[in-house]
A and B are shown apart, each in its own frame.
Chain A
Amino acid sequence: MATAREIHRHMKSVKNIGQITKAMKMVAAARLRKAQERAAASRPYAIKIKEVLSNIVGDKGTLSGLDPRKHPLLQKRPVKKVGFLVMCSDKGLAGAYGSNVLKHAMSEIMKVNGEVTIITCGRRARDFFRHRGFNVLKSHYGFSDKPSYNNAVEVAYDAAQRFAGGEFDELRIVYTLFKSALAQMPTAEVILPLEPPKAEAPKAGEAQVKTNTEYLFMPEAEDILADLAPRYLETVVYAALVQSAASELGARMTAMSSATDNAAKLVKSLELNYNKARQAQITRELTEICGGAEALKQN
């Protein structure tokens, strides 16, 4: 059995680690709240832009007269090369968050028969795919837990360029959908070529108004679409980034919370062992003294 002093040292280190994980948990909780606020704040814009896009596409005669060469992001090609945009964290200590999304990405990649190229967001994703010898076209990092809209613009622009340049014929995004701090779901979706949202199924009463609206386009619908398509892609990427960030922070919070609990439990059991060891030492010393006294008496 370890000596009392050794146990004491162990206890101290466990306590320290517990304090650190507790601090990390609180930081993650505060940031999670911010991330959730940001996700909520970005929703109206995303919904609106989707609406405008479906209004343009839904307009009579727009789609039929569409020149696909003018809209590289809408262009459908036979899928030979598949691109994956994988979003993960920059740092670890977030429980199974990273490995869950990367595992999901791997299983999606395995389903593809054809060439696979990868764009990553977050250092963890980059390292993961580099080590496995994948073709990583580009890695974005440094903003996994606090994405700004400009980050999304950068990622979307890069992806759009590569798509238009034929580096892949389809782009799928793999990110983590935030359900709650305890539940996150890795998700994969095709984001390029852009699938214009279908005009929503008309609700009762609203139906007449929607179908009768005919828009005046300034400039031509085609030109607006050329401008709108990349913007729409940005919002899709931004939404995914924000979801991933919230998931990362949620996962980190839960992981750190259970680490803190675990540290407290460990300290408790160490304390018990420490007291036992201390008691054993006292008993031993006492018997040694008594034994010594007895021996002296006999002389």
Chain B
Amino acid sequence: MANLMQLEIVTPDKYFIKRDNVVYAGFEALDGGFGVFANHMPAIAALKDAPFKYRDSNNEEHFIYLSGGFAEIVKNKITILSILAEAAEDIDLERAHAALERAESRIANFTVDLNIKRAEAAKARALGRIRTVELSMAAKMR
């Protein structure tokens, strides 16, 4: 079929996934969200710490948490480079909530020796994970 895309997610320690029946992919780039169908023009995007979504030819939606990274779209092939990728099913929601709380309290009790950037990055990661799981649940309810 002409309107399918390939998808590859690569992290430093492994090939995360490789699919060739992707109908639609939804990203959150640094300057806003965008979606990709087949025959999209070549693009390179820098991604946010956020959920990434794709729909395959069985009309199933999959959610994957990406810790930043880049997406390259060329000739119906999507390559995502990310330091960390986690499928919604593999995310430990409790841990993410705990991490969120920890990060928030750290930011709230600001002290001089606090690495504020690191705390905020931790918060963004936790939020991203939680949103990934929530989105995935919502998609399953439908």
| A residues apposed to B, CB below 8 Å | 38, 41-42, 44-46, 48-49, 51-52, 55-56, 149, 153, 209, 213-219, 221, 223-224, 227-228, 231, 235, 238
Q: Which residues of B contact A235 (CB under 8 A)?
A: 12
Main DSSP-derived SS at the B contact region: strand
Set A48, A149, A218: member contacting B83, Cβ < 8 A: A149
Smallest Cβ-Cβ distance to B74: which chain A residue: A213
Known: A38-B13, A219-B31, A227-B46. A49 touches B70 (CB 8 A): yes
Q: What are 25 of the A-B contact pairs (CB < 8 Å)?
A: A41-B13, A41-B14, A41-B15, A42-B12, A45-B10, A48-B10, A51-B72, A52-B72, A149-B83, A214-B42, A215-B44, A216-B41, A217-B43, A218-B31, A218-B32, A218-B44, A219-B30, A219-B31, A219-B45, A227-B30, A227-B70, A231-B70, A231-B81, A235-B12, A238-B12
Chain B interface residue count, Cβ-Cβ cutoff 8 angstroms: 25
Smallest Cβ-Cβ distance to A42: which chain B residue: B12
Instruction: Encode contact with A along B3-30: 1 for CB under 8 Å, 0 otherwise.
Output: 0000000111111000000000000011
**Considering the chains assembled together, what is the distance between the CA atoms of A219 and B46 in angstroms?**
7
Smallest Cβ-Cβ distance to B75: which chain A residue: A209
**Considering the chains assembled together, what is the distance between the CA atoms of A245 and B79 in angstroms?**
29
Q: Which residues of A contact B68 (CB under 8 A)?
A: 227
Smallest Cβ-Cβ distance to A242: which chain B residue: B12
Set A44, A46, A55: member contacting B15, Cβ < 8 A: A44
Report which residue of A45, A49, A209, A227 has the largest number of chain B beta carbons within 10 angstroms of its beta carbon: A45
Set B12, B70, B83: member contacting A52, Cβ < 8 A: B70
Smallest Cβ-Cβ distance to A59: which chain B residue: B44
